[in-house]
Structure formats: structure tokens, C-alpha cells
Structure 1
């Protein structure tokens, strides 16, 4: 292998990745304040569970993709497991992507694109929970790399179970 003056191996020029967010929007959202519908409920200790699902699909236009993040947020009382609120949010972004190889496109769509959408999803969840009568819920950061790996493991296990 050839070396450059400083002893490092020469690198081939990688294609320049171009990523543009064309638009982002709430596709669907619901919030149900179950606590307010119950008479005489005092203060409760909430336990919040967040489920995240991701989906990406190619659009008809060249190099354009839609990435959707579906969030389900459930808050229950720690003592009784009674539901306090349920929020479902589908948030999507349209992206123009160039310079990403085919073998790297799937992880790019399900890791990098959701990272760009997440701050907006976090703000929506905070605003809606506050406007719904609860303290604003500030979502913890989501490790999209770990989420992607878990999904790959889940699919591999499902394929082995079918075989």
C-alpha cells in the first residue's frame, strides 16, 4: 500500500453527500387527557413510556425520500397504573439526498434523517403535553443508531423463527 509524505495511506475522494430537508410536517397527531376525565383525582406520580417507530420510503422524484417518525407516549400513575394521558404523533420529513451509496442509504435514512427531525418532535411533544394540562414533557435524546441496530436484530430473529 502506498503512503503519503506523513505516512498515512492515500484516501480516495469520497462522493460529496448532499442532504436537503425539503419539508417537514405533522402527518397525524392525537392527545387524550384521560386524567381530566376522571372525577376527584389528586396529585399522582407519573410514569412515562415512549415508543418510537421509523419508516422511510422512496418518492417518485429522483433522490427524494420521505422519513416518518411515529411516537407513542403513554403516561400512567405509578401507584395504580391508571392512564393519565396518551399521545400519538406521526411526524414526517421530505429529504433530497445525493452521494450516499446504496448499501449506506437505508441506515442513513433511518439514523441521520430522524436525528434532524427529532428537535422538532421534541418541541411538539413538550407543547402538546403542556397545552393538554400537564407539565411539559421534554423527551430524552434518542439513540437512533441503537434503535436501528435493535430493529436489524429483531428482523433477523423473525427471519430465523420463520425458517
Structure 2
């Protein structure tokens, strides 16, 4: 009897709803420093990628804007000379319903960026190719690890500021 009650209760929980309403490049900059300086083109690159995430509630019910901010720097392995710099802020507008309040923050900063990432990867590949370099195919980003690292960083910052007070 208890199992039947639990099954009925699970069926009554509202279904998660998530739709991507829009996605867009908010800001992008690509500098081909190698071409500006007239350097050699047979250089082995060392590519560094920094990722920041942001999420905010919009004025419309159940709508959130999530952005992936990338900073990609490519340097020559031998000389540490900068080859190119790509900065991009890629955003998505999501309609999300029935996510428990305590799970909304991780949902916005893990699941939503996962949905946007294939599009970000394509834009980066196209821009680097069109900018005169081999297409840069970004490795998958572990958004769960990124989220956990940011939580840990914030906790450490709070603990450090508490001990100074």
C-alpha cells in the first residue's frame, strides 16, 4: 500500500520544462596578432581557455538568461609570443519551470551551459578558421566541476574575509 502511495505521489510532481527561447553572441572580439606583426605561420600553439558563467532572472516569469564567457589565448610554445586572442560572451534565454528552488542555481550554471556549448564550440571553430588559423575545436567543458570549483572558491573567500574581521 505504501508503494502505491509513493508511486502516485511521484506521478503528481510537475514535469520539468526547459526550452531555449533564443541564443546569441552578446559580444565577441578576435585579434590575429600574428598577422598584425607579420610573424611566421608554422608555429606550434599553446592554447589557454578560461571560462566564466553567469545566470540571471529576466523580468518575464520562468525566464532566465545564461551566458558563457570565453577568453581564449593562443601563444607560441617556444617563444610565448601571443598568436591570437578570442573573447566571446555567448548567451541563451531559457524558459524553465518546475525546478525546485534549491536546485535552480546549479541547474542554470550546469545544464543550461551544456545546452549552449555545442554552439559555442562551432562559433569558436569558425572564427579561428576565418581568422587565418586552423579551426580550434574546444574540448568538452565539465560544467559540474566548474560549478563546484566556483562554490569552493566563494566559500574560501568568505572564510578568509570572516577571519580578517
After TM superposition, the score normalised by the length of structure 1 is 0.93
| 1:45 has 2:44 as partner | yes
In 2, distance between residues paired with 1:137 and 1:114? 19
The verdict on how the C-alpha distance between 1:42 and 1:98 changes in structure 2, with shifts beyond 3 A counting, is closer
| 1:117 has 2:108 as partner | no
| 1:162 has 2:161 as partner | yes
Match of 2:145 in 1: 146
The verdict on how the C-alpha distance between 1:59 and 1:138 changes in structure 2, with shifts beyond 3 A counting, is same
Q: Superposition pairs for residues 66-105 of structure 1, below 5 Å?
A: 66-105=65-104
RMSD: 1.5
Q: 1:40: Cα distance to partner?
A: 4.4
Match of 1:20 in 2: 19
After TM superposition, the score normalised by the length of structure 2 is 0.92
Q: 1:64: Cα distance to partner?
A: 0.4
Which residue of 10, 15, 26 corresponds with 2:6? Answer: 10
Whichever structure has more helix as a proportion of its residues is: 2
Q: Secondary structure at the match of 1:80?
A: coil
Residues 76-129 of structure 1, C-alpha deviations (whole Å, 9 max, x = no match) = 000111100000000000000001010000000000000000000000000000
In 2, distance between residues paired with 1:19 and 1:115? 13
Q: 1:10: Cα distance to partner?
A: 3.5
In 2, distance between residues paired with 1:147 and 1:40? 35
| 1:56 has 2:52 as partner | no
Q: Following superposition, which runs of at least 4 residues in structure 1 exceed 2 angstroms of deviation? A: 1-4, 9-12, 39-42
Count of matched residue pairs: 159
Q: Secondary structure at the match of 1:10?
A: helix
User: More displaced, 11-20 or 94-103?
Assistant: 11-20
